Structure 1
């Protein structure tokens, strides 16, 4: 989708939006968590992935999946578990809205609530998996070679395949810049890896985070995952993460991703702009890339640093629909 009014407003050549709101579960996460869950079950029982979903292929007792989530990854893993016919537990932190909790429960998963932040829930899920023998389906890991996280990011890479097909079919000139939001960095890593060598010059990829949860920026600066301080409180609740994923960080550093953060006011404004001018109903998490583009384009110093000009063609990702009861 082209956001022509937005391009005019920020003084660049074109703004393209990859809109993920119409995915079966309402976000891009359905591409990663569901695929990773089914793949992990297949590995655990020693059967081909294509056999998963056949009741006769499952041992007794079946594998029990567990994951941690702000909402969307848990929903995707729950969907994968339901397809496989195995039990699933999703660990959430106490700040996850009830509407997101209910969606996960309606998908057939049991829910446990951890106190504190998303990262406290990550710790709880790891402990439960170790103590109970559950099969952990994370979208973040401190192991750069984690095979389950690799499956999650491989699922997200479907987006880059679609983008290439869509630009070819529409005969658009290729984007020069991408602004992509990050929680733990998995989506951003899949995008930068999948579009490597495809973007037009200067081929800049900007990772966007809320001011209150800049875990990828901190990790990029430190060269390793480090845990952000504070309560991570932000309206972009799907990006409210305190520690970047090592597999994602490896890719982001390899390809030279840039980082910037945005304020709560900037996030809220972009949600409103998308709804009133484009009819796209999303959240602060979904609109974060557009928020960062607006901020960067309005700042002469940032424009120069990012080589944003009146001829630039920018791609943003609208990553989720606004959940409804």
Structure 2
């Protein structure tokens, strides 16, 4: 087994599928990993989404109120705060469960990646003269005729496939989504109704991803979206940090040394939470503290971040874990090495939770804030309590945060839920009630 920066006691806890809080020893340390994203790409992603806003508004009428901006609200949650936050300070929910167009955190990154490909094709073939052109031309018949000659392919546990399939089909691309065994049937049916070809696999996310990669590589007109190592996905996700900054400023909320910000991000293969962490650290530096959250049966990012730079991450299967979780969006066996290296000195730590805990948080979100999410999206709500553990207290003390908690802001990032069919959500809720009362 590879060398990992975890203790023997931590290893036993992980192998026994018990919740753990792991602190990142590389946090704030210089690293020599090969994956060092350029900050210029961060700002270019933001500019691209602004250029494409009129196009998106034309393709998706639900974006008219936001003038083509794909963004979610920031919800103050005082009732939930009094229940889940023993630290003090305020609590807001980043409502990506209700993100327009694709209904999950994957919308920004997935849509940005497809727009990158469409933009490049349109510039190459003269449909766009330059980047100052009217991007609504990408919805024209000549553009759709061009795009129809190409296939966009992706591997997914569900939500990324939804975002890629929705924007790909809207622009006229042939779109193929390879779905892992844990993907929900309703997500596959939603894609098929849009004309997307869905390939179901009786294997986990990694195998579905590789199948998509092999199929795409065999077709010169196929564009493969690689959730494990795509800078375009990563930077599309990172743009959320700029949007959050504007939302905090609009509420006159300070983020500085005396007003620390804590953000709790559900993590699967790592792209979305990694990109958001990258963006937040570029904006708020050491005043923001980002933690990934994973199911006890699928702590792939914990094992990846505990490894060495430029080294293939350790699989959860090497720890005897089964990837058996209702948090389908987080059911990933091996983390993205690229994301681990890109965020190795930015991430504060990782915590894990049982499915029972996720359902309990799902119940609290519904009963206290009337917010409906899928189980994977509820895991961020365990963040404040995580900081009350021995490891969490060690982190607060070592970074001189203990006496600043009254001024702190905590943001669980809600990742998916609004597209969940009502009958599916009612099953979630019934299980949550049973486990919570």
**TM-score between both structures, scaled by the size of structure 2:** 0.67
Matched with 1:178 is 263
Deviates more, 1:58-67 or 1:238-247: 58-67
Partner of 2:76: helix, strand, or coil?
coil
- Offset from partner CA, 1:48-107 (integer Å, 9 cap, x none): 483433331344861111111111111111122123211111101222221111111122
Contact 1:54–1:84 at 8 Å: present in 2 too? no
Separation of aligned partners in 2, 1:231 and 1:84: 38
Which of 33, 38, 48 in structure 1 is aligned with 2:115? 38
- Give how far 1:298 is off: 4.3
Larger proportion of helix: 2
Which structure is larger by alpha-carbon Rg, 1 or 2? Answer: 2
Q: Does 1:244 find its partner at 2:335?
A: yes
Deviates more, 1:250-259 or 1:205-214: 250-259
Gaps of 5+ in 2: 1-74, 423-437
Change (3 A) 1:303 1:265: farther
Separation of aligned partners in 1, 2:121 and 2:209: 22
Q: Does 1:305 find its partner at 2:364?
A: no
Which of 161, 176, 182 in structure 2 is aligned with 1:74? 161
**TM-score between both structures, scaled by the size of structure 1:** 0.89
- Give how far 1:259 is off: 1.5
Partner of 2:381: helix, strand, or coil?
helix
Contact 1:41–1:63 at 8 Å: present in 2 too? no
RMSD: 2.3
Matched with 1:145 is none
Partner of 2:154: helix, strand, or coil?
strand
- Give how far 1:305 is off: 2.4
Alignment of 1:228-307 (within 5 A): 228-229=316-317, 230-294=321-385, 296-307=386-397
Matched with 1:21 is 97
Which of 177, 187, 190 in structure 1 is aligned with 2:272? 187
Gaps of 5+ in 1: 142-148
Which of 138, 141, 166 in structure 1 is aligned with 2:247? 166
- Give how far 1:176 is off: 2.4
Separation of aligned partners in 2, 1:60 and 1:254: 39
Q: Does 1:140 find its partner at 2:228?
A: yes
Partner of 2:98: helix, strand, or coil?
coil
- Give how far 1:252 is off: 1.4
Contact 2:316–2:334 at 8 Å: present in 1 too? yes
Separation of aligned partners in 2, 1:182 and 1:151: 18
Partner of 2:297: helix, strand, or coil?
coil
